[in-house]
Chains A and B, each alone.
Chain A
Amino acid sequence: MKKSLVLFLLLAMVVSLAGCSGSGDKNGGADANEIKIGINYELTGAVASYGESSVNGILMAFDEINAAGGINGMKIVPVQFDNKSEPAEATSLATRLMTQEGVVAALGPATSGNFMATIPVAMGNKVPIISASATADKGVTVDDKGNVNEYVFRLCFNDSFQGVTMANFAFNNLNATKAVIIQDNSSDYGKGLAENFKATFEAAGGTIVAHEGYVAKDKDFNAILTSIKGKDFDVIFIPGYYQEAGLIIKQARDQGIDAPILGADGFDSPVLLELAGAEALNDVYFSNHYSSIDEDPLVKEFIKAYKEKNGVEPNAFNALGYDLGMFIADAVERAGSADPEAIKDALAETKGFVGVTGTFDMGEDHNPIKSAVVIGLENGVQATSVKVDPN
């Protein structure tokens, strides 16, 4: 009997504790000198690292803005929740942010699938949502019927642009005619990239000699690599993220495969170098949002500031998160009020926003019109960078 009492008290404590913190947030909302911005990111679960990195960047931007006096004297208050890397949680959190916490805009989630899960909520509540890294082609800013989702924005290019860019790069710059694709099948990201690469590469006259798949968290790729090693090909394209790509590159080089390896922005992380090792990272090319060897003072400054603050080099998610934080602040400032409707209009009218990941105008379809860079690695260090403009 005593035990069950203890148990009951414990449960009651957790629930009431959670209740308290919830109501605490609500009371804070009355302050007119604050602008509440929702942060709905993957802090635990399968893609927690993207969420963490993005949030680091966003909070760094907010800190800088608040330290400089805020937006028109108003401080930005981030309201941060963890969506567990689950779309259902992302939906429920977006609803919570918009109906309970009264945010003027919500940032994230980082991945396309989770971001898409929050779109109906944003449309229903008329609160803008922006993702810095949802690169999926279909169903993000434009719905299936071709209508623009009015309250949905992103500030990254989409997968088809990257897939096309890398296919052209392989065909024109590397003179490749035969390619192998090793695709991350557990994400729509890998799928979108692979489709566009394949279509462009084949249209240019190339052939795909093998098309293999893997899922996130796989660690052993020797079986796939051994089976493609027997084939004749010029390049390997790996549409996927650095956690697995790093291991694939390492294992491929260990097996004696020395063909050029191509990828997309999922490669961009210092961890790629740690996983693959410097000697494996030769003849590796990937498209990205920005290059750390960029001579642009803004980029240099950001990298320096980020390193001072966190002790490590920023990755693309950090940079995009930082831009996202700056971008929403810029839109709120231009809107001149904390009204979601006005902020939405300001976001849509963006012209010449200057960010670490490039300068862009917001397009009609709520996608930014910005360029990509193709980075070449030598001994694990960025050695070349080619800018590719959208057409």
Chain B
Amino acid sequence: MDQFLQQMVNGLSLGSIYALIALGYTMVYGIIKLINFAHGDIYMIGAYIGFAATTYVHLGFFPALILSMIVCAILGMIIERVAYKPLRNSSRITVLITAIGVSLLLEYSMMFFVGAEVRSYPKVLTNHLFHFGGVRVNMQQIYILVTAVALMILLQYIVTKTKTGKAMRAVSIDKDAAQLMGIRVDKTISITFAIGSAFAGAAGVLVGIYYNSIDPLMGMMPGLKAFVAAVFGGIGSIPGAMIGGLAIGIMETLVAGYGNSMYRDAAVFAFLILILILKPSGLLGKNEREKV
């Protein structure tokens, strides 16, 4: 029993990382229907900014986190402005290819400048250990889960209660109609990218501290899995991304712990295909009828 509970703790902490990335993913996809492949790489850049801030400038945890979020937000806006905005009326596959191009560009530019070697963070967070019976939980796991939940609540608040959030929802439903209503579509999309990227940056810093290992290609797999999480939760739904992320994390941990750890990635993708076939709108997503 202790072992099972420990596995749940492992799964939750892995899942909160996916959830953090998935939150940004689901926002961006919700508004411009683009699988932003570069999202996972913004997470990687965030991790490196946090690394530079803590290692070379000796900032503490929170200043480094904020700095990383700001830089990533700006980076996200630049990417949107330069690479995606000119293609707003192009076919989806064109934009998708561009996103893949941006993703490769970020990965390999980073590899060019910092090298392929893995880096590790200095100790910026205490790693106090708590025992609950036979189950061990450390401080960092709690930090990650709490940050993920806090950011989810913040995001949900922005989207449902603020004017910007209203604009976002309007743009995601019908861009042209939103424009006619006086909403500045470009600005709204820009803000969405900024927020989504800032979240990815935060995730990067947290992961850097938690696993103590960052590298230029670290964004690839988590990026894809976060997308799976977003789809599972219902794309465009913020609580959905959270639930999806945690579910994927737990599922992966259970496959690795009780099945064969070699099949954990395959299991995630098999699961994705299952959801897409059985319930393509995801857990909390809205079912959209296609109109002629």
| Residues of A in contact with B (beta carbons under 8 Å apart) | 44, 46, 48-49, 52, 185, 212-215, 217, 219-220, 222-224, 226-227, 229-230, 243, 246-247, 250, 254-256, 271, 274-275, 277
Contacts and interface: CB of A to CB of B under 8 A. Distances in A.
Interface in B114-162: 115-120, 127, 129, 136, 138
Nearest to B120: A274
Contact of A275 (B108, B212, B218): B212
A222 B129 CA distance: 15
Identify whether the interface residues of B are mostly helix, strand, loop, or mixed: helix
Nearest to B135: A226
Interface string B229-268: 0000000000000000000000011111110111011000
B3 A223 contact: no
Contact of A271 (B117, B217, B264): B117
Interface string B272-291: 00000000000000000000
Nearest to A47: B116
B103 interface: no
B3 A52 contact: no
A93 to B, nearest CB: 18
Nearest to A214: B261
A44 B104 CA distance: 12
B190 interface: no
A44 B111 contact: yes
Contacts of A275: 118, 120, 212-213
A229 B9 CA distance: 15
Contacts of A246: 213
Chain B, interface size category, equals: 35 or more
A274 B254 CA distance: 29
Contact of A277 (B211, B212, B215, B252): B212
B118 A243 contact: yes
B10 interface: yes
Interface of B: 3, 6-7, 10-11, 13-14, 108, 111, 115-120, 127, 129, 136, 138, 207, 211-213, 215, 217-218, 221, 252-258, 260-262, 264-265
B211 A44 contact: no
Contacts of B262: 185, 213-215
14 contacts: A48-B111, A48-B115, A49-B116, A52-B117, A185-B262, A215-B262, A220-B14, A226-B3, A226-B10, A227-B256, A229-B6, A247-B213, A254-B138, A274-B212
A223 B212 contact: no
B257 A227 contact: yes
Identify whether the interface residues of A are mostly helix, strand, loop, or mixed: helix
Given A44-B108, A223-B11, A229-B3, A243 B257 contact: no
Contacts of A185: 262
A226 B250 CA distance: 14
B257 A247 contact: no
Contacts of A247: 211-213
A226 B7 contact: yes
B253 A230 contact: no
A217 B115 contact: no
Given A230-B3, A271-B118, A223 B213 contact: no
6 smallest CB-CB distances across A and B, nearest first, come from A48-B116, A223-B256, A222-B10, A223-B257, A274-B120, A223-B253
Given A44-B111, A48-B116, A52-B115, A227 B212 contact: no
Contacts of A220: 10, 14, 211, 253
A219 B119 CA distance: 13
B136 A224 contact: no
Best-buried of A217, A227, A250, A277 by chain B (most CB within 10 Å): A227
A268 to B, nearest CB: 14
B257 A226 contact: yes
Contacts of B260: 213
B116 A271 contact: no
A230 B207 CA distance: 27
Contacts of B255: 223
Nearest to B253: A223
B120 A271 contact: yes
Contacts of A217: 215, 217-218, 221
A52 B120 contact: no
B13 to A, nearest CB: 8
Nearest to A277: B212
Nearest to B5: A226
Contacts of A215: 262, 265
Given A213-B262, A217-B221, A222-B14, 6 more contacts: A52-B115, A213-B261, A219-B211, A219-B218, A223-B255, A256-B136
A71 to B, nearest CB: 31
A271 B214 CA distance: 12
A164 B179 CA distance: 71
Given A227-B257, A247-B212, A49 B117 contact: yes
B159 to A, nearest CB: 30
Contacts of B10: 220, 222-223, 226
B10 to A, nearest CB: 4
Contact of B213 (A44, A219, A224): A219
A61 to B, nearest CB: 21
Contacts of B116: 44, 48-49, 52
A380 to B, nearest CB: 12
Nearest to B17: A220
A226 B38 CA distance: 33
A314 to B, nearest CB: 13
Nearest to A213: B262
A211 B108 CA distance: 35
Contacts of B211: 219-220, 247
Contacts of B3: 226-227, 229-230
Best-buried of A52, A219, A256 by chain B (most CB within 10 Å): A219
Nearest to A269: B117
B253 A222 contact: yes
A212 to B, nearest CB: 6
B5 to A, nearest CB: 10
A220 B6 CA distance: 14
A212 B14 CA distance: 19
